[in-house]
Chain A
Amino acid sequence: MAKQFLYVGKGDQAITDICDADSFVENKIGDSRLDAELAPGAMVGEATLDGELVTVIANNSKRPNPRFRVVYNGVIGMEECYKFAQAMYATIEADKDKPLKDKRPIVLLIDTPGNSPGKVEEIVGMTKGTASYQFAIEDARHAGHPVIGMIVGRAVSGAFLCHGLLSDRILALPMKYGTIVHVMPTTSIAVITKIPLERLNELVKTNPVFASGAEFFYKLGGINEMVEDPKDMKNAIKRNISEVRKLRLEGKEDQLGIWHRGVVGAERGGRAKRLNAITKMRAEYEKLLPELLD
């Protein structure tokens, strides 16, 4: 089957297809209203999944940012990061009096080609923008909101780091639907590392560590679950929400999020040497512990 670019550049379509019909209300989360002028490409709001209220975060590639010329086509710039962060805090605020079991889930629909590589971004601090969003996601998780990342299109480098990688669970459509998961394409890696492309392409077959694609990331534990059929996305997200919620209620935080994906990666045979390094360091640390606590 030929490759289909199902949702690349179509974050808005992903919202329509995954959420209940006409349920998405943009820029509204609980009693909060977000500024529609700010970061027009950052789509945030409320929707329902089979009746359950969720916060949705996505990118609309058709809306460039009029103030920052590098922010278009789904790029996450500074305004976008801060708006996403505001959406996290609005979600926490909306449910602040609810018990853990009723905290609304947050669904990140991931289709972004990167953070904005611009001069003014570097002057003002793109770094702080992306980190602020990441800390806000952590705040939401710690407040008890299940956070699910669903890769529907591009999940590239720094933008994937801020928009998705810290989720409790990450799901992805396979490469045949046009999903892209990488730091940069193998062709660019060849240019920068000066390693011939043919050699890289040969190595990619056996080593997922620099390969581009959701399936390789899955092997490393970076993605929890592949959703083979796009029609199953809603159900997969719902199931993961209830699993995350259950684990959190049982206090099993260590089975969620990025550190647990290290465990998942080891089970799948990826990042084996990471585990060796950690094991050795722990042994060295434990020998020193009594004097450290003294």
Chain B
Amino acid sequence: MRMIWEDLQDKSFYQATARERAFGLVDKGTFKEFLGPRDKMVSPHLLVLGEALEFDDGIVVGVGKIKKHPTFVVSQEGKYVGGALGEVNGAKMSYTLRLALETYEKMKEKYGEVPDEKKPLCIVSYDSGGVRLHEANAGLLMHSECMELFYEFQNKVPNFSLCGSTIGAYGAQGFVCMSADVVIANDYGRIGLTGPDVIQQEVGKDEFDASDRALIWRTMGARSKYILGDVDYLIKDTIGAFRNQIVDLADLPMKKISRSRHLGSPKLVEENLEVVKLAAEIKANDSKDLWKYYGNDNPDELPELPYDKFISTVKRRPRAI
């Protein structure tokens, strides 16, 4: 399939394939894929279990440029086995992160201090349910590899999480996603640890009715996450909108980019714990209880408001830092 970069900018991020997202997010013509479909590096485990194979194992990874920044991209394909991660696609993801960090270290050797306008960036476009059960143990291990690298990224490699594809960022990918410096989402983005079906199965329908679409959106959806501060930028649904948000932030000093971090320090532990305590104190049983607490008098209307109206009127949890 031929991709025209200019067309990709206006394309719906939600409907785009992993490869379209990867190509469109970086500067025109700069994306170089690692282990592309031609390499036919398929999962050895899905084959044995009789599943259909994809030559890229459901993930597109590589490096391009945004202005002068080498930009490492991981783009997950939710349409293939739920975007879930196993041995091969997991290694593609975690090793791409490792190469981003290595590029930072090499640049530091070369320049002494890495110039703000040249520092490597990392973008992960999430579309995954987490661990691929067919190769669950390998999937578990790759998540820890990602977490160690995201830890190492701090104050070095700006780390952008993009949420707005079909599956969301669920399971262990949910917490990998939240470990970034900046979380960007469109209205379709969803972030969670335990998906609706699993909650219903494990705890019961009185805890979570997985057939209630509205409940799913207001619990895990981007609007709620934006109000509660987990999503930093809620943007329109085009690849170009995601790209522009990153372009806007890319040249800033690392310190400024990491101001929106959601975790990774004793201070943020205390900030997050305050919200946990608040939820217990007001016996929050629905996200609307917290939306209201943070000053929204119209919680029933918020999910339905047109995007522009929502953005201009919504009240968000004030961040402590």
A: which residues have CB within 8 A of B?
67-68, 70, 78-79, 82, 85-86, 89, 115, 117-132, 134-136, 138, 157-158, 160-162, 165-166, 182-184, 189, 192-193, 195, 199, 203, 207-211, 216-217, 220-222, 257-259, 261-262, 265, 271, 273-274, 276-278, 280-282, 284-285, 288-289, 292-293
Contact = CB atoms under 8 A, between A and B. Distances in A.
Given A124-B276, A165-B144, A184-B136, A281 B99 contact: yes
Contacts of A189: 133-134, 136
Contacts of A258: 141, 144-145, 147-148
Given A127-B175, A132-B268, A117 B199 contact: yes
A289 B221 CA distance: 39
A123 B228 contact: yes
Interface residues of B, number: 85
B178 A128 contact: yes
Contacts of A282: 95, 99
Helix, strand, loop or mixed for chain B's interface?
helix
B63 to A, nearest CB: 6
Nearest to A90: B266
Interface stretch (B3-11, B41-49, B240-248): B41-49
Contacts of B276: 78-79, 82, 124, 129
A85 B151 CA distance: 14
Interface-centre pick from A89, A127, A221, A289 (highest chain B CB count, 10 A) = A127
B152 to A, nearest CB: 8
A70 B208 CA distance: 12
A161 B144 contact: yes
A68 B139 CA distance: 29
A189 B171 CA distance: 15
A31 B199 CA distance: 40
Nearest to B261: A135
Interface in B189-215: 191-194, 198-199, 202-203, 207-208
B137 A120 contact: no
A182 to B, nearest CB: 7
A182 B135 CA distance: 11
A115 B285 CA distance: 18
Interface-centre pick from A67, A68, A216, A274 (highest chain B CB count, 10 A) = A274
A288 B41 contact: no
Nearest to B142: A274
A50 B194 CA distance: 41
Contact of A125 (B172, B208, B228): B228
Contacts of A222: 137, 140-141
B175 to A, nearest CB: 4
Contact of A285 (B99, B145, B272): B99
A59 B134 CA distance: 29
B17 interface: no
B34 A131 contact: no
B199 A118 contact: yes
Contact of B34 (A78, A136, A271, A281): A281
Interface string B285-307: 11100100000000000000000
Interface of B: 32, 34-35, 39, 41, 43-45, 48-50, 61, 63, 70, 86-88, 90-92, 95-96, 98-99, 103, 106-107, 110, 120, 131, 133-141, 143-145, 147-148, 151, 171-172, 174-179, 191-194, 198-199, 202-203, 207-208, 219-220, 224, 228, 230, 262-264, 266, 268-269, 272-273, 275-276, 279-280, 284-287, 290
A274 B192 CA distance: 27
Given A128-B263, A131-B175, A277 B140 contact: no
A207 B141 contact: no
B138 A134 contact: no
Contacts of B148: 138, 166, 257-259
B124 to A, nearest CB: 14
B140 A132 contact: no
A178 B10 CA distance: 55
A216 B30 CA distance: 42
A289 B104 CA distance: 11
Contacts of B50: 195
A289 B100 CA distance: 11
A195 B192 CA distance: 26
A220 to B, nearest CB: 5
B217 to A, nearest CB: 12
A24 to B, nearest CB: 23
Interface-centre pick from A183, A278, A288 (highest chain B CB count, 10 A) = A183
Contacts of B44: 273
B287 to A, nearest CB: 5
A223 B266 CA distance: 29
Q: Which 10 pairs between the two chains have the least Cβ-Cβ distance?
A: A183-B136, A117-B194, A67-B280, A131-B175, A138-B151, A126-B193, A127-B175, A274-B91, A127-B174, A292-B70
A288 B171 CA distance: 33
A45 B175 CA distance: 26
Nearest to B107: A293
Contact of B230 (A125, A183, A276, A293): A125
B143 to A, nearest CB: 6
A183 B131 contact: yes
A261 B50 CA distance: 29
Nearest to A182: B136
A183 B32 CA distance: 34
A195 B49 contact: yes
